[in-house]
A and B are shown apart, each in its own frame.
Chain A
Amino acid sequence: MAAKTSASPAGRPFDRQAMLKEAGATGLVIFALAFGLLGFRTLDVPGGIDIQYRFGDVAAAVAIGIVGRIALILLRERRPLPVLLTAPPLAVVLLVVLLSKFLFGPETGAELMRFLPFESLVVMWAILIVIVVLGLRAARVHTHMTSVMTAEERDARMDRIGAKVQRAARLLGPLLLGIAVVFPFLPFADRRLLDIGILVVTYIMLGWGLNIVVGLAGLLDLGYVAFYAVGAYSFALLATGLDVSFWVALPFAGLMAATAGVLLGFPVLRLRGDYLAIVTLGFGEMIRIILLNWYEFTNGPDGISGIPRPSFFGLALFKRNVADGHAFHELFGLEFTPIHRIIFLFYLILALALVVNIFTMRIRKLPVGRAWEALREDETACRSLGINPRNTKLTAFGIGAMFGGFAGSFFATRQGFISPESFTFIESAVILAIVVLGGFGSQIGVVIAAILLIGLPEFFRELQQYRMLAFGMAMVLIMIWRPAGLLAHREPTIRLFGKGRAKEAEP
């Protein structure tokens, strides 16, 4: 055998044994994970449940993990040649197999597909993407002899991208809004797509609401869903118990949620960071458990059903036959179709979300908004400037919660039925993930993240089972590469030298 250690082109010694050790460790970790996750699958068979063993998949996962790890190590050690030589042919073969259905007809396609290590095409496409990325990076290493950008380079680049997107947001924002406004009337906008649209916009609204608390005021809130729940239940109880209409109950539900926000705010005033996150998480669970157990009031796990649908601003109802009053389709002389109500709901949530957005944009430029940001930066300095930290924090909690409450009301009226199950911690996590992924404080970032995290998995049903996995992975990557979020770029709220006056500042 040749010497174990040979010098790499960059002059660094290269330890083959260490590489194999590292790859072996990766294999072990993947084995430990995959054995439980992939190795068994329960099948519904007549008369009970059966277990399907998929050890082939486990082996494939381990092999892919080891090979991928070796490729990464080679790149890190600046020896890109093996990767450069294997990645392109592998990618081409995989691509041909994946497209074989279209290239050679369905039969040959099916035949070829059987050679793929995983059944799921999504996973195979993902692997293809990884191979292509590795190949590109190998090429980059080969030509530049630098393995990766330094952290600063990457940061600077991401910042520039963030700044560009923010600037583009001035155009992109209205553009997206325009698309959203005409969306229900597009020819392909069927009921399913509209439902997805409503869901995405709901999460955008929640993301924007939470962004006030987390992005602006810097208060890490892991229990945001509590306010969503308070809003939904306030609305549902008012609407079913007291027969209050949507338009009256909505502000009241918001008020209740805001109160809950302030109540949560008081005990956590002195807490920061991790501690705050833990207490808010607990608060979220507390609310859910109260809803679950206060049977007389909330109907416990059975939830509340028969929540009235919103009327057309109190003028007309979305029903085929209305005994007293008007029906929407009669009012406008249209054919009755249930899609009218869906379209109305879409516009309703769009309007609510826009209110949150405009509110946030405006309040950022007001003293409270600036005080929130200042508080995020340095609370001690704020106190030395005479800013009342208590009131400032409580307004952030209260206003963020209020918007959560509005969204909750909407949720209740759209579903017609709510139960504590809809308000689990995972919802808080998803909303927070949207904010974090989009970039703390970035309005357009929330939109993009919501579309990515909510819209895509809803649309591609097959992706849905990988949603949580993708979530987790995205979060880990973001935390490593860009802790402030993808599009975190802060625009100043006020400038001394406006666009036109900028030259004056040049020396």
Chain B
Amino acid sequence: MIRLSGRFRSALIIGGQGIRSRKLRTFLSMISLFLGVLAVVTVQAGAETAKTLRLADLELHIGKDGTRQMYIPSMPDAMDAALTTVAGKADAVGVMGYQAIIGEPNVVPINQGAAPFDNTDGGYYGPPMQMDCNPMTGECRPIKDEQAAQPTRGQAVELVLQGLTGDIRQFRPFRPVAGNWLDFSGDPSYSPRLVLNKEAAKGFTRYQIPAEMRVEGATANPTPRIVGVVDDGNSQPTAYVRVDEMRNWMPKTTANQMYGPGMQLLFAPTAGETEALVVRKITALGVSRDMLHVETINARKDIAEELAIIRWIFLGMAGLVLLIGVAGILNVGLATVGERVEEFALRRAVGTPRSLLAGIVLAETLLTGLLTAAAAIGLGVVAIDVGAGLFGSRVPQLQDLTFPWQAGVAGVIAGLVAGLLGGLIPAIRAARIPIATVMRA
């Protein structure tokens, strides 16, 4: 123990004297290594940031990791049972999907099929266009008569309407944009309160839409009230509503159609009892257990797999840049050892073990690697800070972006590996310097 610490202290003194007398060299090796370490840090920071952003997106879109998703078959009794079971539960939410058109009656909505507003023609959202082809000339043109028979396009938008039994934001953390979120306390209103997503809100601000809503299968046309706008990560115009405010307008029979509204239940990871209760009630109605498809959301794993290949490709390229830095350290290291041949021979002559000399050379390059890593990480932290400040107002996801610790770890590892690779050969050289040859008079 005493011998070890004596060695260590000797190494500190000798290494310190060496670095102090060659500050410029240390600085030059740092420069040669800097780009490589910075590349590794950047790739890691980029990959981690992409993962975080993508995860935030998926959380909005699909749900937080660990959430259990259950699809209820479109059978009215089963859906009724599910709805009544989760109603008022804090850890589970039922979602019923409807197609709804808001606006002028008897017109084709601007965005047929609830297409995004910037993509209303074409794409897979619209109805298939029909072509009339002349068998003689082979010439084709769209059929006009069909359109003439249909009601013309008018001031109406089509939405996906999501009827909720409770606050879905515990599973999908929607970001508020304007107004309020739905209030689930109190009695349902006869004028359904809607919260639009950003795409739906775009339709309402762009077109003059009368406030009359037609929902497939509804008995009458309710007049909705829009209470707020959220960002739900969805590009399809969507509105959220209390399901009981919708069902006021629905005869029970509509849900009987095979192509009626679909229903999805979301459970918190802790809601095992509620989930089991739903399963028991529905299977009691004679529905097979196999028809209740349940899955646990694990977006983190999916994203990691999705990004892994890209990350490795970029890390490979960063590794090449790092290799150039290693060559730089190696070059400077060999030159330094060449310059210090007499010093090392002398130190060996006075009894310094060769392992200690090799260790000192290696420690100097490792320290160079660490200092470089610190510089690269520092730059990364500042860059992300500045970037988040500059673009945070435009891209909300960037607002509370921080430097991912994984990038810091990668930088330190890259610096140490480069120091090790670049210092190993000089260290071996230093240990092999023969005393007799150097000191001979």
A binds B: no
A: residues with CB less than 8 A from B are none
Residues of B within 8 A of A (CB): none
